[in-house]
Amino acid sequence: MPEKFTGRCECGALTYEFSNAPDFVANCYCKDCQRSSGAVMGSYFSVAAADFRLLSGDPRPYPYVAASGNTLERNFCPDCGSRVFTDKLSGFPGQVFVMLGSLDDPERIKAPIMEIFTRFRISWTRALDVPQFPGRPDGQELSPSEREQTGAGEGCG
Cβ(16)–Cβ(51) below 8 Å: no
Nearer to Zn ion, 32 or 52 (CB): 32
Nearer to Zn ion, 28 or 100 (CB): 28
- CA–CA separation, 27 vs 129, rounded Å? 12
10 Å Cβ neighbour count for 81?
13
Nearer to Zn ion, 13 or 142 (CB): 13
Give the footprint of Zn ion on this chain (CB under 5 A): 9, 11, 13, 28, 30, 33, 77, 79-80, 156
Closest approach of Cβ 128 to Zn ion, in Å? 16
Cβ(4)–Cβ(127) below 8 Å: no
Backbone angles phi, psi at 132, to 5 degrees: -115, 135
Closest approach of Cβ 31 to Zn ion, in Å? 8
Closest approach of Cβ 12 to Zn ion, in Å? 6
- CA–CA separation, 143 vs 157, rounded Å? 16
Nearer to Zn ion, 39 or 50 (CB): 39
Strand partners, 15: 8, 56
- CA–CA separation, 154 vs 157, rounded Å? 10
Nearer to Zn ion, 50 or 119 (CB): 119
Closest approach of Cβ 27 to Zn ion, in Å? 9
Closest approach of Cβ 1 to Zn ion, in Å? 29
